[in-house]
Structure 1
């Protein structure tokens, strides 16, 4: 029995251990087939996606980006995408709907970018605090605004992903719980709505993983 609307997102403990978090590693089950079925359609399709992302992230990082730095963002995209999709299946815990996971991804990345930027490109980081063409009288205010907007970046990254995952799943749960009290005609209509929402959630799962990876790449490109 649900005590509140958000209880469906609570990780239940088994023998005192929260084993639901193991769903984060379910994406690994899809990787071994790449090595045994070469070249499979799945492998060709996934390689095409990765190459496209590599080219796009390389463009975002610019010529000053380090070689191989796109791989961390491609890995980040893959991890979030698998977790978002796994959460759409019944009885699988959606780890990306918790700030515990999303903040654990966003905060260390942002912190590494900041430490690297301030140590190696100090003048460049100071220049970022004042946008070009700012009047002298507004410079102190712009420094405060830019500093605050920089500090809240990991929070906005994490909350954006979490909120989008919770919103769709919560709507699906609420609509699903109204099914037993409906007539046969309304249940048919409800199923159509649920399928449409599931398709929408599949799109959101892809878009949000892409947005997280792209924004992380943009934050990285600013410190070079």
Structure 2
């Protein structure tokens, strides 16, 4: 039962190739050329969202570094798009795999760490001991801060993947019970599925926003 359930997240196909990963490229086919060539309502809405994100990320970073918000806006756009694609039937949810989420989180965190320790070594050491820490607790605080720093890419990746898996598993479980229930229960089940789908749509946006914001906060610590 569990094997069949988790096969929803299996990237392999009948051709023994991981063609399901191609779902991350579907955006290039789904979004028409007129979206970015000719101003439309959709482009105005999307530009408004991007501008709002730019202002917020710029505030979180704290320093005016030209083009830095582009990294996090692109990250948000990619994750939110893949999250939404996964809600459609028969489309592989790429963000439910640690393969993708760790690929996004690890290089980002690693680049921040390398930049910080090379260019702002004193500042990075100062971060290991919070202000006002008693001398007795300093070794423990350094250890705790180091561990919390190391597990950051893991928590970023697992948070996104786990949230995507949890919602999709619940939808799959409820969907599989459909053929075996009565007509009345089926109507209730459909209403619950629709409500869950709305919730998952909200989770798709929230989780991509959380991923981008936390990445921004981690970068602000090393600048």
Instruction: Return the TM-score normalized by structure 1.
Output: 0.96
- Cα 1:14–1:4 change in 2 (3 A) is closer
1:39 Cα offset (Å): 1.5
- CA distance in 2 between partners of 1:7 and 1:17 (Å): 15
Q: Is the 8 A contact 1:27 1:79 kept in 2?
A: no
1:142 Cα offset (Å): 0.1
Matches within 5 A, 1:105-120: 105-120=104-119
Give ranges in structure 1 of 5+ residues lacking alignment: none
| Counterpart position of 1:128 | 127
Secondary structure at the residue paired with 2:129? coil
| Counterpart position of 1:33 | 34
Matched, 1:141 2:140: yes
- CA distance in 1 between partners of 2:84 and 2:173 (Å): 20
| Counterpart position of 1:215 | 214
- CA distance in 1 between partners of 2:105 and 2:41 (Å): 32
| Counterpart position of 1:68 | 67
Matched, 1:12 2:6: no
Number of residue equivalences: 222
- CA distance in 2 between partners of 1:127 and 1:28 (Å): 45
- Cα 1:31–1:144 change in 2 (3 A) is farther
Secondary structure at the residue paired with 1:131? coil
1:34 Cα offset (Å): 1.9
Q: Is the 8 A contact 1:85 1:202 kept in 2?
A: yes
Per-residue Cα deviation, 1:79-100 (whole angstroms, up to 9, x for no partner): 0000000000000000000000
- CA distance in 2 between partners of 1:115 and 1:164 (Å): 29
- CA distance in 1 between partners of 2:83 and 2:218 (Å): 23
1:31 Cα offset (Å): 6.0
Matches within 5 A, 1:166-181: 166-181=165-180
Secondary structure at the residue paired with 2:213? helix
1:153 Cα offset (Å): 0.1
| Counterpart position of 1:22 | 22
Secondary structure at the residue paired with 1:133? coil
- CA distance in 1 between partners of 2:3 and 2:57 (Å): 44
1:32 Cα offset (Å): 2.6
Moved beyond 6 Å, runs of 4+: none
- CA distance in 2 between partners of 1:122 and 1:31 (Å): 47
- CA distance in 2 between partners of 1:109 and 1:168 (Å): 26
| Counterpart position of 1:195 | 194
Matched, 1:51 2:51: yes
Secondary structure at the residue paired with 1:3? helix
| Counterpart position of 1:206 | 205
- Cα 1:83–1:6 change in 2 (3 A) is same
